[in-house]
Structure 1
Amino acid sequence: MSIEVGSKLQGKVTGITHFGAFVELPEGTTGLVHISEVADNYVKDINEHLKVGDQVLVKVLNVEKDGKIGLSIRKAKDQPPAQSHSNQRPRHNRTNDFRPKESFEQKMNRFLKDSEDRLSSLKRNTESKRGGRGARRG
């Protein structure tokens, strides 16, 4: 069985580094699971998820010309359809759902008003820390 991109294989963790884990595949070749491909959530310490000798299911992400094999544990897991991202609406429509369509002039006026409010608030806060309005030190 040759190692092809997209195939799922059983492997054994042979080494762990701060950036990932080396996994020995059935044909005796070794691939790397990058730390970002270990779990669906953020992985700060890979040792909390894997140990040398663990049997893991991996998916082949890429095979380089020089023989390096990129693997993923998180993509090898079958995700239930409820967690699939395909049924979610595209991101770019989310902001338009909360506001009616605005013209460019309306958006610009709203931006300028918000900007002036923030600037006046910033000036008010920094002036109070200097000891009053426009007071200069002698």
Structure 2
Amino acid sequence: MKFPIGLRLNAKINNITKLGFFVTLPHHHHGLIFYKDFGDKWESAKNKYNIGDEVRVVIINNHQGKISLSLSQVNNPDLIDPTNEFKESKDFAPLVSLVEDANKKIANLKNSIELSDQ
């Protein structure tokens, strides 16, 4: 299995050290969530997670088979998941229009309810 940058997947924590969390990825590959990924919350993260916990991670580097992972960047839109079938979608105008129309209808309903209560 290839592990391209941006790929999101589940990993199982198998060791917690001073360097970070060593995890097992699918197909018996391994990776590291470096302690700096947690910033100043590293100490609390060590207490929050346990060996055996499953976490959602994103691949941030894969150099010569050494896979660097991140928990904090899982929702980073700049790390595009190459397996996401919608990665090329940039046209959100129809959705924005739909939300705006819904918000207008909600406002009208609220106004009509307030008028009927008077």
Q: Decide whether aligned partners of structure 1 residues 18 and 72 sit closer, same or farther in structure 2, where only a CA change above 3 A counts.
A: same
In structure 2, the partner of 1:52 is 51
Match of 1:72 among 58, 70, 73: 70
- Please list, as runs of the form range in 1=range in 2, the aligned pairs for 1:1-138 lying within 5 A after superposition: 1-38=1-38, 41-44=40-43, 46-65=45-64, 67-77=65-75
Q: Which runs of 4+ in 1 moved over 2 A?
A: 44-47
**Deviation of residue 44 (structure 1)?**
2.6
**More relative contact order, 1 or 2 (CA 8 Å, 6+ apart):** 2
Number of matched residues? 77
* TM-score relative to the length of structure 1: 0.50
Unmatched tracts of structure 2, length 5 or more: 78-118
For residues 37 and 27 of structure 2, the distance between their equivalents in structure 1, rounded to whole angstroms, comes to 22
In proportion to residue count, which structure has more strand? 2
**Deviation of residue 46 (structure 1)?**
4.1
Alignment deviations for residues 58-96 of structure 1 (CA, whole Å, 9 cap, x no partner): 00010112x1110001111469xxxxxxxxxxxxxxxxx
Is this contact kept in 2: 1:36–1:42, CA < 8 A?
no
Unmatched tracts of structure 1, length 5 or more: 80-138
SS class of match (1:37):
helix
Greater Cα radius of gyration, structure 1 or 2: 1
- Superposition RMSD in Å: 2.0
Identity of aligned residues (%): 30
